[in-house]
Structure 1
Amino acid sequence: MKTWTSEHVFDHSWETVMTAVMQKSPNPMNPGVVGVNVLNRLVDPSGKLHGHRLLSTERGLLSIVKRLTAAARSKNNVQEHSVDPVEKAMELKSTNISFTSMVSVDETLMYKPHPQDPETTIWTQEAIITLKGVSLQSHLERLMASTISSSASKDGEAMEWGIHKLNAEIEELTASARGSTRTPVAAAAFA
C-alpha cells in the first residue's frame, strides 16, 4: 500500500472553486475523463448536497498493469460520492470499480476556505494505492503515485481553466444583459 498526499491553494473564493469543480470534466488540460454520468443527486434536510457520479476515464493505468490485466484499452470506471456541507467544505471520495481484483485507488479530495485567508480555497488530496497479487508491488505502487501526482497537477490547471472560463461566461452574460436592457430603451426613443 502506498499513500500519496498533496495540497494546493486556489486564489479564488470557495463558491467560485465549487462551481468550477462541478464543471471540471471534460477539459482540454486533462482529457483522461471521457464521460461523467450523474447517477443520483439530492439535498438532505440539513442542506448538504449528496452526489453519486460515475466517471469513465482513460488514464491511471500503467502499461504494465494493462499487460497484467490483458486490457486492450485503458478505460477505467470510477465511482465518486460527494458531500457539500453548508459550512463550506466539499469532500469528494472516489474509488475505482474497474480492475479491483488487481488494483485499488481510494482518493479523497477536500475543498475548504483557507483558514488564514477565507477569500482563497485550500484543496487537499490523498490517494491510497494498493496493488494485489503483483510482483514488484511496492515499485509499481510508487509509479502509480507518481502518475497520480502528475494528474493532480493537470487537475489544478484544469480548475484554473474552468474558473477562467466561468469568469468569461459571467462577463459575457453581464455584457449581454446590459446590451439587452439598452435595446428596449433605444427602441422606445425612436418610436
Structure 2
Amino acid sequence: MKTWTSEHVFDHPRETIKTAAMQKYPNPMNASVAGVDVLDRHIDPSGKLHSHRLSTEWELLTANIPLTNMVSVDETFIYKPHPQAPETIVLTQGPTITNKGVSPSSNLEGLMASMVSSNANKGQEAMEQATH
C-alpha cells in the first residue's frame, strides 16, 4: 500500500473554490475524464454538500473504477480555510493505493502513484483556471 499527500493553496473565496471543484471535470488538461454524471446531490443538516457521481463519489472521497481487480485508488480531498489566511482555501489531497494480488515486482503501485500525482496537479491547475 502506498499513500502520499499534497497541499495546494487557492487564493480565492470559498464559494469560488466550491464552484470550481464541482466543475473540475471534464477539463482539457486531463483527457482521461470525458464526463461526470451526477446521480444525487444534497446538503446534509451540518451544511456539507454531498454529490454522488457515476464512477466517483465526490465530496471528500473518490474511488477510481478501472483496474479494481488489480489495484484500488481511494483519494481524499479536504478543503478548509488556511490557518494564517482564512480568506484562502487549502486543499489537502492524497490517495491510498492498494495492490490486490499483483506481483510487487510489477511496481503497479508506484506507477499508479505517479499517475495520480500527475493528475492531481492537472486537477489543481484546472480549478485555478476555472476561478478566472
Q: Would you call these one fold, judging by a TM-score over 0.5?
A: yes
CA 1:113–1:138: 2 relative to 1, 3 Å? farther
Asked whether 1:122 is paired with 2:97, we answer: no
2:82 alignment partner AA: H
CA 1:97–1:144: 2 relative to 1, 3 Å? closer
Cα deviation for residue 81 of structure 1 reads 3.5
Q: Provide the TM-score with structure 2 as the length reference.
A: 0.90
Question: Residue 2 of structure 2 contacts residue 113 of structure 2 at CA under 8 Å; is this kept in 1?
Answer: yes
* SS of 1:28 mapped into structure 2: coil
Q: Hey, what's the Cα distance between the residues in 2 that align with 1:146 and 1:99?
A: 16
Structure 1 ranges of 4+ moved more than 6 A: none
Query: What residue number does 2:112 align with?
Result: 144
Match of 2:80 among 94, 106, 112: 112
Q: Hey, what's the Cα distance between the residues in 2 that align with 1:123 and 1:13?
A: 13
Q: Hey, what's the Cα distance between the residues in 2 that align with 1:32 and 1:139?
A: 22
Query: 5+ unaligned residues in a row in structure 2: which ranges?
Result: none
Question: Residue 2 of structure 1 contacts residue 138 of structure 1 at CA under 8 Å; is this kept in 2?
Answer: no
Cα deviation for residue 18 of structure 1 reads 0.8
Query: What residue number does 1:79 align with?
Result: 56
Higher helix fraction: Structure 1 or Structure 2? 1
Question: Residue 71 of structure 2 contacts residue 109 of structure 2 at CA under 8 Å; is this kept in 1?
Answer: no
Cα deviation for residue 16 of structure 1 reads 1.1
Match of 1:101 among 69, 72, 75: 69
Q: Hey, what's the Cα distance between the residues in 2 that align with 1:133 and 1:119?
A: 45
Q: Hey, what's the Cα distance between the residues in 2 that align with 1:98 and 1:28?
A: 21
Q: Hey, what's the Cα distance between the residues in 2 that align with 1:140 and 1:20?
A: 31
Identity of aligned residues (%): 64
Q: Hey, what's the Cα distance between the residues in 1 that align with 2:104 and 2:47?
A: 46
Query: 5+ unaligned residues in a row in structure 1: which ranges?
Result: 55-77, 83-91, 165-191
Cα deviation for residue 138 of structure 1 reads 7.1
CA 1:14–1:134: 2 relative to 1, 3 Å? same
Asked whether 1:24 is paired with 2:24, we answer: yes
Q: Provide the TM-score with structure 1 as the length reference.
A: 0.64
Question: Residue 10 of structure 2 contacts residue 90 of structure 2 at CA under 8 Å; is this kept in 1?
Answer: yes
* Higher RCO, 1 vs 2 (CA within 8 Å, ≥6 residues apart): 2
Q: Hey, what's the Cα distance between the residues in 1 that align with 2:15 and 2:85?
A: 14
